[in-house]
């Protein structure tokens, strides 16, 4: 087999293995790394905050960890939609992402208030309740 024939065969193999590339929907490898590492980071943060709540016996921290779950669902929805190249059949994931982002913003706000109140001295709470 001559070099030019081998080269032609290799070119045909490479062309046949090429995956359809849609630049509007495709994410670069660095973008995927950021997406996936963010999801992993969020899971680790939820786990660590939950354990902190157990160690301190402050249940508000466990509530904070639970309040983070809607934002995690939002992130997973976005990654899933991008993984399948943003098909119209999975467009409901965009709605799920938007909804869980909104819910997550409120649950994190409520959890932050709960943690803040749990760390205030009892005297301040009892004085403000008497007024």
Supply the pLDDT for residue 85: 84
Average pLDDT over the chain, rounded to whole?
A: 85
pLDDT band at 18 (very low <50, low <70, confident <90, very high): low
pTM, two decimal places: 0.72
Residues of the chain above pLDDT 70, percent: 78
pLDDT band at 27 (very low <50, low <70, confident <90, very high): confident
What are the domain boundaries of the chain?
27-130
Q: Give the residue carrying structure tokens 């354990």.
A: 51
**In a 3-state reduction of DSSP, which class is residue 58?**
coil
Average pLDDT over residues 63-85: 94
Average pLDDT over residues 13-19: 61
Give the Cα separation of 16 and 64 in Å (integer).
50
Average pLDDT over residues 8-24: 61
| Contacts of residue 51, Cβ cutoff 8 Å, sequence gap at least 6 | none
Q: Which of 83, 77, 97, 76 is nearest to 25 (CA)?
A: 83
Residue 71 tokens, joined: 């934002």
Point out the least confidently predicted range of 30-34, 36-40, 109-113: 30-34
- Please give the residue that has the higher pLDDT: either 15 or 89: 89
């Amino acid at each position: 087999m001559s070099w030019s024939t081998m080269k032609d065969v290799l070119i045909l193999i490479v062309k046949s293995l090429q995956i359809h590339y849609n630049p509007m929907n495709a994410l670069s490898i660095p973008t995927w790394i950021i997406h996936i590492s963010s999801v992993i980071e969020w899971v680790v943060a939820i786990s660590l905050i939950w354990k902190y709540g157990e160690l301190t016996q402050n249940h508000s921290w466990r509530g904070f960890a639970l309040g983070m779950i809607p934002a995690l669902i939002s992130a997973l929805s976005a990654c899933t939609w991008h993984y399948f190249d943003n098909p119209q059949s999975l467009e409901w994931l965009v709605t799920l992402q938007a909804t869980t982002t909104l819910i997550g913003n409120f649950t994190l706000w409520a959890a932050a208030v709960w943690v803040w109140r749990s760390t205030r001295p009892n005297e301040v709470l009892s004085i403000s309740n008497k007024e």
